[in-house]
Amino acid sequence: NPWTVSKVLGVLHEDVHIISSIDVPWVGFGGAIEDSRFVVGAWTHREPLEAVQQLPETRSSSPVLNPVNVYSIVDEDTPVVGRPGTVSVEGDVHALRVNHYVDLMAWQCDSCTVHDAGMSWAVDKLKEALPEPR
């Protein structure tokens, strides 16, 4: 995926004065567990992106806020209230997402069937930085 947070924000830079928030959609990761001591390496199956993108009114997301244009944010279930004349941008799951590891405590993600090794670079970095447990 060629998109990064800095690229997405760079694209929106010209409109930053009218943006109050960007809702970054969550994509569920879970299902079959791989042999890894790191969360990002253990769960490498996710929900299909098309299914997540089709349900914007019911999906969970994390807001990236423009503090200059936000009046309030109450909790994750309440929309961001922006200043008059500002907009909240709905994030595209194909450009930017939050990987939500839903199966940490119990199997919950029956729809996590798409293999996605996009975080393998992080596993390599973690292995370099953290010694093996004894």
Predicted pLDDT of residue 80 = 85
pLDDT exceeds 60 at position 35 = yes
Q: pLDDT by residue (tens digit) across 71-125?
A: 888 776 777 889 999 998 888 888 888 999 988 888 888 999 999 999 999 999 9
Predicted pLDDT of residue 134 = 66
Cα 39 from Cα 75, distance rounded (Å): 26
Average pLDDT estimate for 25-41: 91
Assign 4 to helix, strand or coil.
Answer: coil
Are the C-beta atoms of residues 71 and 81 closer than 8 Å to each other?
yes
